[in-house]
Amino acid sequence: MYQEISWQDPFLFFYAISHLPGVVFFDSAKEHEETGRYSFIAFDPFNTVIGKNNIFYYGKKKYNGNPFHLLENILATFSEEDDKNLPPFQGGLAGLFSYELNHYLEKLPRAAKDDLQFPDLALGLYDVVVAFDHLQKKAWIISSGYPEQDKKSREIRSAKRLHWVESLIQQSSLPSVLRVTCDIQQLQQHFTRENYETAVKKVREYILAGDIFQANISRRFHLVLPEKLSVIDLYRRVRDINPAFFGCYFHLAETTIASVSPERFISMRDHCIETRPIKGTRPRGKTAKEDAELAHTLENSAKDRAENMMIVDLMRNDLSRVAVNHSVKVKALCALESHPTVHHLVSTIQARLHDTLTSIDVLRATFPGGSITGAPKIRAMEIITEIEPVCRGPYCGSMGYLGFNGAMDSSILIRTFAIKNNIVTFQAGGAVVADSDPAAEYDETTAKASALVRALSSC
């Protein structure tokens, strides 16, 4: 059941209901007809899946084992026909897939330190979604009526939920913002310049020894947030600085994610799969001339194009495990994409999923994204664990949805604040290849972190 409503800025409604339990906002603040067409808001999930280290809770029920099996069972229980007249997310599982979910897919070493204990998985089951089409300037409330199972009960619940959400929309307004100053001098990181450059040299040694072709190594930053700082306002600030195709905000239990990611991980509808790996970065110039020169240099960089093409090959290989034979195609290779603080090279790969497989099979075949691990992927992940001093947690995992209708969409969690116990963390990384310059790699991570640092320093 659905109801069309008057168009409004999605952020206006999100801000008004951001205090509600389990709120998730898939935020296409940088609108684009293909990559930023839709925004979605969901809240008040009828159940949750959360846990780590082989112990998960589906509501109050304890589940020991592989969480992908649990997700398969949930989607089988709450299946729904896809309404092609509506945006793709029409209810389903949505939330956080942390980087450490890789341990349920491959036998990998554990990081030496897991200081913040972010969950491996934190998802809500959402029966009601507010969907926004930026291209058509249309909006809908969509309600499945789940978890009710019989037709009449679902219709009754769906009607009640539609009415409730409509009343919330009518009451929505944008409150004033209390500016709270963060002491950016208190920002700490696990890698100094010297240590990071040493890490880059270590990866180059592995490459020259024939272990890998490429690995992504990151720096982690953290800061204790002022007590009066609203994380919603922190997100509002960073999306103003750096609007993104795949922005998101999510709060469940003790975990909050505020992301302005430019990178799609996997999307799928009607068994058509797409991924958009990013590899190759330059900062924006201070003048129009300098900016154009930096973009031109990136487009013509043999090193950056080689990095990107390695990941394209990796993602083609991952998708081929679940795709119809000969359906994996590269739609765009090393295309320039410019954002407020950086230029990127972005490739687009598409494929068609086998009719007998599902979104969970796609997730198994591709997680985590190759652009933030390296090639070959398994050995690169082993080296990442060896070199990086702490668990990644949400960073380089994904935020996304697995629809009851079979659709999915997800981001790579870069340009992302992860908050727990009043500590905000974020990371910035880069691909290391044989001819990487350690100093340049450090500078690239600084450019990637700049929007997040600015948001904290002016919050």
User: For residues 264 and 278, what is the distance between their CA atoms, to the nearest angstrom?
Assistant: 9
As given in the structure block, the two tokens for residue 139 are 């909006």
User: For residues 339 and 298, what is the distance between their CA atoms, to the nearest angstrom?
Assistant: 14
Burial tier of 147 (Cβ tally within 10 Å: 0-12, 13-18, 19+): middle
Q: Tokens 């629809």 label which residue?
A: 403
Q: Indicate the residue type of 207.
A: I
Peptide bond into 87 cis (omega under 30): no
In sequence order, what are the beta bridge partners of 38? 133
User: For residues 433 and 316, what is the distance between their CA atoms, to the nearest angstrom?
Assistant: 20
Is 52 an active-site residue? Answer: no
Helix (H, G, I), strand (E, B) or coil at 184: helix
From 100, 263, 337, 441, the catalytic residue? 263
From 52, 279, 377, 448, the catalytic residue? 279
Q: Indicate the residue type of 391.
A: C
- Whether the CB-CB separation of 366 and 348 falls below 8 Å is answered with no
Task: Fill in the DSSP letter of residue 311.
Answer: H
User: For residues 423 and 403, what is the distance between their CA atoms, to the nearest angstrom?
Assistant: 31
- Whether the CB-CB separation of 450 and 238 falls below 8 Å is answered with no
What's the Cα-to-Cα distance from 122 to each of 47, 72, 161, 251, rounded to whole Å? Answer: 11, 15, 23, 9
Residue among 1, 455, 441 nearest 230 (CA) = 455
Q: Give the contacts of 317 (CB within 8 A, at least 6 positions apart).
A: none
Q: What is the helix (H) or strand (E) element at residue 202, kind and residue range?
A: helix 193-208
Is 279 an active-site residue? Answer: yes
User: For residues 184 and 391, what is the distance between their CA atoms, to the nearest angstrom?
Assistant: 23
Residue among 321, 452, 313 nearest 395 (CA) = 452
- Whether the CB-CB separation of 256 and 419 falls below 8 Å is answered with yes
User: For residues 382 and 65, what is the distance between their CA atoms, to the nearest angstrom?
Assistant: 22
User: For residues 316 and 348, what is the distance between their CA atoms, to the nearest angstrom?
Assistant: 10
As given in the structure block, the two tokens for residue 179 are 């500016």
In 3-state terms the chain splits into helix, strand, coil percentages (rounded to 5) of 30, 30, 35
Q: Which residues are catalytic?
A: 263, 279
